[in-house]
Amino acid sequence: MTRTLTSKPPSRFKLAERILELSFAQTWDEAKREWELDHIYFADPWSPGTCLCGHSPIVEQCELFNSLTGETVTVGNHCVARFLDLRSEGLFRAIRRVAADHERRLSVAAAEFAWKKGWLTEWDRIFCVSLHRGRKRTRSLSPRQAEIMVRINKTILRHVGHS
């Protein structure tokens, strides 16, 4: 069986090789498109994870799922952002922001992701999205809105294992 890697800088090689082994397609460019971001989380400091590239410890972990092969892999956010064209870094950035300040607006992308995962209700998702629309974007949150934002952010942080 011949496998073609169109371009392979050394740091990407092991990751690409493992991804290819677990993919249906036989080329890196096709294979990487089979993978979707299934879950993101912060590693437990007592048992930090290992990226598919061999790098360890990784703190910001992504679980990727391939629906064609049914495989799930753990890849560090760094490698996902660099090699896999999935938007994990945007999600981690949003989560780092709300972890530092629980009253910060959660990004639309993070709210959508959390809703798809079933962590947030439809109402929560619409609430988050609405805070990025029109004049609400720049207005500071009312005490009631801030309270809801904190509840939502804490829910997200719990699901991604951020303490």
- Nearer of residues 61 and 153 to Zn ion, judged by Cβ: 61
Q: Which amino acid is at 58?
A: I
Q: Distance between CA 157 and CA 163 in Å, rounded?
A: 7
3-class SS letters over 95-117: HHHHHHCCCCCCCHHHHHHHHHC
Tokens of 17: 């090789």
- Nearer of residues 75 and 106 to Zn ion, judged by Cβ: 75
SS3 content of the chain, % helix, strand, coil (to 5): 50, 15, 35
Q: How far is the CB of 31 from Zn ion (least distance, A)?
A: 16
Q: How far is the CB of 50 from Zn ion (least distance, A)?
A: 9
- Nearer of residues 79 and 99 to Zn ion, judged by Cβ: 79
Cα-based torsion angle of the residue sequence 30, 34, 38, 43 in order, rounded to the nearest 10 degrees: -40
Q: Distance between CA 163 and CA 161 in Å, rounded?
A: 6
- Nearer of residues 49 and 76 to Zn ion, judged by Cβ: 76
Q: Which residues bind Zn ion (CB under 5 A)?
A: 51, 53, 55, 76, 79
- Nearer of residues 82 and 154 to Zn ion, judged by Cβ: 82
Q: How far is the CB of 51 from Zn ion (least distance, A)?
A: 3
Q: Are 77 and 88 in contact (CB under 8 A)?
A: yes
Q: Which amino acid is at 68?
A: L
Q: How far is the CB of 6 from Zn ion (least distance, A)?
A: 19
**Which one-letter DSSP state was computed for residue 74?**
E
Q: How far is the CB of 76 from Zn ion (least distance, A)?
A: 4
